[in-house]
Amino acid sequence: MGTTIPPSNLSRYHLWVPATIPENEPAHPKWLLDTERWKICDYGDVYKEVQRDGYGIMSYTWGRWADWDKPAVGVPDNLHWSVPTVENMPVELARRVVESMHLRYVWWDWMCVPQGRSLTPDHEKAKREEVGKQMAIYAGAKKSLVWLHSTTWGENSAVKLLLKNEVPKDNLEKYILELENLVRVAQEKEHWLSSGWTLQEGVLLSEGILLDHTGEALRDDRFIHNDGYASVIDLTAGLTTFAIRIAAAFMKISEVHDGGDYDEVVQFIRHSKENYKKLAMFLSSLVRSGLIAYTKSSPLYILAGKKSRFYGVKEDECWALLGALGIDTIPTPRLSEDNKDIAAHAWHTRLADGMYLPLGIFFDVHWKQGLPRLSWVGPPSENRTDAIHIQTETGAPFAMLQLRKNSTALYRDYEQVPTDDGFGYIRVLPVDVLEPSSMLYFPISDLEKRGAVRAGLFLGVIDIWAAEGHLEEKHRLTKFSLLSGV
């Protein structure tokens, strides 16, 4: 169903006559920018050419500097809405950046998703449709680039130092302090690293080339993608490697108590309780930066990083992350109350708001096949009990395990320790003996073998190692329900 622009609005829509809005196609954008003719085209009109040659995508952040009272100059023909002037990013410069992809057709959200404060109802609907299928639009792109707003490669910017991993490493404690400060400054100065929408775009465009404000790329032999040009994935490579090294040190300390490990990070943590907390909180801050495991199929890391990002409106905390989380359909979100007290939030809200840190930084997870689904029914009311349900889609039974009488096993627990800022850090507790009890365990993943212990099971926030036969199937259930703790 199309829409006709009323005559009173024609001055806002630049040189175009009454037109229709393309029907929604879940796998394709409605519009693309033709860089040769500098004109907005319906996707359906150029479908064959796009299928043959592909289209490009540009990611950049502009909302904070938009002057909506001053329309941009030099916009493409057939633009369906008014776009504002953006400080230090004139359309002429943006055009040169877009054309550097050397693809005729480009999806550029500024020009291909309805913008503005006074859209028609049909354009508002089109905007929601385009935002809802960004994952498909990004997946369909042949080439992508990221245009940084405040970074110039010719200067020693924080982003450049992070990419080239040039912080001196001769002193661990000093290195940690400088790296933490560098990440903070990078996110303060380069707003592409602090925008909620670009958190998602970076995930979906992990191999997109990074261009500075002038449109220049950064080349170095250390960058292994795009012929040595810095890409989004290079922002996470060094930081993630160091984060894994820290996490591995915490795991070693949980297993060994005699101090027989000479790894520098292990020794630093073991030196004092203050060092343990200091490094645990540093690891937490890295994960919450959104730059750890900054790739696809890392939903918990994306959620952990969402609070380091800026959102123009509250709703964007949901809509700006759907594609990064791999979600292509979702109902309109029910927003939670604005309460910074972590104890006041339900478990599902704490998870979605990134209050829980992912444990995957500490170990590789090898999920078991055919796991049942977890669902939440709530909030509680007079006629409904709040609960978490575990149930298979087919109704097939699943096993709950229990440690046999007169048997023993080893276990390791993880604690999400709250701090005054409302976030917290993870404490890895020492491996200890697990005694038989009425406790039930639901196995979801296999652990690596530990010494002579042959069976390993990861139980969410607890690891268990038990000799074969010491764990028995206590129940075979088709549904298991428990209170969520709201």
pLDDT at 103: 96
Residues in the chain, pLDDT under 50: 1-18, 331-345, 452-460, 486
pLDDT digits (tens, 9 = 90+) for 202-213: 998 999 999 999
pLDDT at 329: 58
pLDDT at 312: 76
pLDDT at 332: 39
pLDDT at 348: 55
Q: Give dist(CA 61, CA 196) in Å, integer.
A: 10
Neighbours of 351 (CB within 10 A): 15
The pTM (predicted TM-score) of the whole model is 0.82
pLDDT at 379: 61
Q: Give dist(CA 119, CA 80) in Å, integer.
A: 10
Cβ atoms of residues 107 and 33 within 8 Å: yes
pLDDT at 119: 87
Q: Give dist(CA 359, CA 416) in Å, integer.
A: 10
Residues pairing with 381 in the sheet: 384
Q: Give dist(CA 392, CA 25) in Å, integer.
A: 32
